[in-house]
């Protein structure tokens, strides 16, 4: 027998948001490689890393604030990354 698809509930949406945030965290750290390479050759750094930081931190802040029991440490720890990542991205344009 085929199983019925589970309904897309708020709880499932929060779980999905957590997995997306985890994936973007990995992308954020991988993006450091191009930044390091550019820095070592004396060229202006990549915009990828600060953009990935801003997106990742935005997702973690949303995750922390949208959970039924808010996760303030997660939200507050990532809030500076939203601002600083966005500023760094904008100044790298």
Where in the sequence is the domain holding 32, given as residue range(s)? 10-92
In a domain, 69, yes or no: yes
**pLDDT of the residue at 60:** 94
In a domain, 30, yes or no: yes
pTM over the 0.85 mark: no
In a domain, 3, yes or no: no
Scanning the structure block, which residue is given the tokens 């966005």?
Answer: 86
In a domain, 62, yes or no: yes
| Confidence bin at 2 (pLDDT 50/70/90) | low
In a domain, 34, yes or no: yes
In a domain, 63, yes or no: yes
Scanning the structure block, which residue is given the tokens 């904008």?
Answer: 90
In a domain, 19, yes or no: yes
- Annotate 32-75 with DSSP letters as a single string: HHHHHHHHHTTPPPPSHHHHHHHHHHHHHHHHHHHSSS--HHHH
* Token pair of 43 as six digits: 């060229």
- For residue range 17-66, what is the model confidence (pLDDT) as tens digits? 988 988 888 787 777 767 666 666 767 667 888 899 999 999 999 999 99
User: Count of domains in the chain?
Assistant: 1
In a domain, 5, yes or no: no
- What's the rounded Cα separation, in Å, for the pair 24 and 28? 6
């Amino acid at each position: 027998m085929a199983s019925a698809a589970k309904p897309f509930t708020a709880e499932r949406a929060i779980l999905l948001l957590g997995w997306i945030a985890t994936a973007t965290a990995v992308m954020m750290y991988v993006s450091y490689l191009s930044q390091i390479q550019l820095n070592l050759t004396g060229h202006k750094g990549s915009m990828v890393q600060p953009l990935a930081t801003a997106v990742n931190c935005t997702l973690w802040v949303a995750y922390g604030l949208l959970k039924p029991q808010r996760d303030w440490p997660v939200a507050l720890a990532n809030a500076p990354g939203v601002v600083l990542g966005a500023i760094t991205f904008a100044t790298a344009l």
